[in-house]
Amino acid sequence: MHNTVRRGKGDPSIGVMRALLGEEKRRFSLTLVLAAVAAVLEGIGIGLLLPFLENLLNPNSSPLATGWSWFDRVVLAVDQEALGRLYRVSAVILCSIWLRVLVAYAGSVIGTTMVEAILDRLRRRLVDQVQSVAVSFFSTARTGDILNTITSEINRLKSLFEISRMFIVTGLMIVTYLVIIVVLSWQLALLTLAFCGLLFGVLSGLLRKLKRSGRVIAQNRANVSMMTNEIIGGIRTINEFGTQAYEGRRFGAVSEEARVQNVAAYVRSAIAGPLSQGIAATTLIVMVIVAVQLLIWPGYMSTAALFAFLVVLLRLLPLVQSVNTSRAVWFVYRGALDRVTDLLRRDDKPYLVDGNRPFSGIANSIRLDGVSFGYEPKQVVIDAVTLEIPRGKITAVVGASGAGKSTLVDLIARFYDPDQGIVSFDGVDCRELRIADMRRAISVVNQHTFLFNDSVRNNIAYGLEGVSEASIREAAEEANAMEFIRELTDEFDTMLGERGARLSGGQRQRIAIARALLRNPDILILDEATSALDSVSEHLVQESLERLMEGRTVIVIAHRLSTVESADQIIVLENGRVQEVGTYKELIEKKGQLWEYHALQYQLV
């Protein structure tokens, strides 16, 4: 199955399931073959039950013979006494039982291996899907939903596949038993089918309700996961505001809804078992009465044949009960399959189309021509922007909060594509360039540095392979990070905790700068890189940033005008439009928008 899911005819979720099984043709086929062999062996063992009982109850009865003289003589011992024939038939029955047990075990192991392989590929595809969608997808998607789908719902799919495999194995066994009871007595077989049909019919309406409940339960699980993720992620804020009780009530409401729906679904699904047991017991009692009165007493059926029929029936009815119970459970877990299918869909998600032209950096400039962009159709954030960013120069972008500064640099880095206009590098539309090449040529350092729960070394060398220890240390030195790294317990081997929790804001920034230095980008974007730091940390970070900026094309976003006074050009944005462009001195002398910011910050008015 390709890494895509599209809406089409039929149920797309079932289509995904078939495609996944189709990728495991060899193991799936082997599972089917082993299930069929197990059913045949079961049929042989049960089929020999009647001559076994006949021989046991009536030693003078005719011996069982297949017509194959060698088989009848060597295996079934038709030329021996009744006791010898009894031993041989018993041995054949036991051999068929043990062979069936071994074949069923092999089928179970292969089936489990197949399911685990499917789930492994499915997890990888979901992660690939999350990484391939455009960044704009995450502005509306809920992280808790995605996390719940990739973890919890995938685990529930294991039960779904196991139930599906059980349907196949059990279905073949049921067919085998049905063939045997038809041979033993077609009249009683018809009566059995009538009761089974009644049971399936009664449960059909219940299962339709369970199908709807499965989707609701899956959504409730996602809500619980989302709330848990928010509480853990915002634990500092919760403690700062003392809102533990408030968050407890919010989580309690979501958890209560999940509890109510789970109980309701269980009440509906649990009835399948007792209902099946009741109908099975009724079937058995009615069968005995009908058989004795209408078949045994009139002489149409032997007592041994009835015993054999009842033995088969006692093995058949639990299987029917198991299928009905599993049908109910299948519909409860079906919601997990729907959620996985929805996350795999590509037709309802934004993607960046990769270009085919290589890119290693710019020779002249970056240009934006008539670029407009909005996160929502009627919400314009960047409005008809035209500007040029020369190679090897420092370009600062300033403006009030919400002016569109970060969105502008995100368009340059191609995290988004413009709704109108063109972003070009040396005259080439960025949509024609390979995204991977652009990512290697551009580094972004912003105020919210993300560090992984990994060592200092791996965080600095993130995404790079074969980097020498000397290069990592040199990058850390240039980023003013060596001083605090030496104080860490294991220096470069120190694990930084989730999101770099063991480091201060300034230390995290210096790790991010070391990471950028090691990548040696052609284009550097600094998005409020020092805005959240104290004066000491800011000085250290600013010093390391100056080293990082040398010889590169730099785009700086900053609220503090003192950090961009030396920029080669300054672009002033207001409500998504370019208000003025020039050097700091030129724009101050012009006394336009930048002058107003300057006067406000330096309290000149």
Q: Would you say residue 54 has pLDDT above 70?
A: no
Q: Cα separation of 91 and 74, whole Å?
A: 12
Using 50, 70 and 90 to split pLDDT, how confident is the model at 80? low
Using 50, 70 and 90 to split pLDDT, how confident is the model at 282? confident
Least confident of 24-38, 363-377, 432-446, 590-604: 590-604
Whose CA is closest to 525, among 512, 537, 535? Answer: 512
Q: Would you say residue 299 has pLDDT above 80?
A: no
Q: Decide if 104 contacts 39 (C-beta within 8 A).
A: no
Query: Which pLDDT belongs to residue 5?
Result: 45
Using 50, 70 and 90 to split pLDDT, how confident is the model at 7? very low
φ, ψ dihedrals at 527, nearest 5°: -105, 100
Percentages helix, strand, coil for the chain (3-state, rounded to 5) are 65, 10, 25
Q: Decide if 110 contacts 103 (C-beta within 8 A).
A: no
Q: Cα separation of 389 and 371, whole Å?
A: 14
User: How confident is the model over 239-245, as a mean pLDDT?
Assistant: 68
Query: Which pLDDT belongs to residue 2?
Result: 44
User: How confident is the model over 287-315, as a mean pLDDT?
Assistant: 74
| pTM given for the model | 0.66
Q: Decide if 435 contacts 486 (C-beta within 8 A).
A: no
Per-residue pLDDT tens digits for 183-224? 777 787 787 777 777 666 666 656 565 556 666 666 677 777
CB neighbourhood size of 493 (10 A): 11
User: How confident is the model over 242-270, as a mean pLDDT?
Assistant: 74
Q: Would you say residue 22 has pLDDT above 60?
A: yes
The more confidently predicted of residues 172 and 75 is 172
How far is Cα of residue 396 from the mean position of the Cα atoms in its chain?
A: 41
Token pair of 287 as six digits? 């069968």
Q: Decide if 397 contacts 557 (C-beta within 8 A).
A: yes
| Helical H segments across 185-302, by residue range | 186-233, 235-241, 244-270, 272-290
Least confident of 83-92, 138-147, 282-291, 566-575: 83-92
Whether the CA torsion 41, 43, 49, 52 is positive or negative: it is negative
Written as one letter, the residue type at 529 is: A
Whose CA is closest to 221, among 161, 129, 151? Answer: 151
- Which helix (H) or strand (E) segment holds residue 486: the answer is helix 482-487
Per-residue pLDDT tens digits for 539-569? 666 666 777 777 788 888 877 777 777 788 8
The more confidently predicted of residues 207 and 91 is 91
The more confidently predicted of residues 12 and 103 is 103
Using 50, 70 and 90 to split pLDDT, how confident is the model at 53? low
Domains of the chain: 12-344 (1.20.1560.10), 365-601 (3.40.50.300)
Would you say how long the chain is, in residues? 605
- Residue 5 three-state SS: strand
User: How confident is the model over 429-454, as a mean pLDDT?
Assistant: 83
Least confident of 4-13, 310-319, 424-433, 496-505: 4-13
Q: Would you say residue 485 has pLDDT above 80?
A: yes
Q: Decide if 549 contacts 529 (C-beta within 8 A).
A: no
* Helices 12-22 and 303-344, packing angle to 10 deg: 100
Query: Which pLDDT belongs to residue 3?
Result: 46
Q: Cα separation of 491 and 497, whole Å?
A: 14
Per-residue pLDDT tens digits for 110-156? 888 888 888 888 888 888 888 788 777 777 777 777 877 887 788 88
The more confidently predicted of residues 435 and 563 is 435
Q: Decide if 500 contacts 458 (C-beta within 8 A).
A: no
The average confidence (pLDDT) of the chain is 76
CB neighbourhood size of 219 (10 A): 18
Q: Would you say residue 70 has pLDDT above 70?
A: no
Query: Which pLDDT belongs to residue 199?
Result: 65
Query: Which pLDDT belongs to residue 564?
Result: 77
CB neighbourhood size of 472 (10 A): 21
Among 41-50, 97-106, 425-434, the range with the most confident prediction by mean pLDDT is 425-434
Q: Decide if 487 contacts 522 (C-beta within 8 A).
A: no
Alpha-carbon dihedral of residues 227, 156, 137, 224, nearest 10 degrees? Answer: -10
Q: By percentage, how much of the chain surpasses pLDDT 70?
A: 77
User: How confident is the model over 229-258, as a mean pLDDT?
Assistant: 72
Q: Would you say residue 55 has pLDDT above 70?
A: no
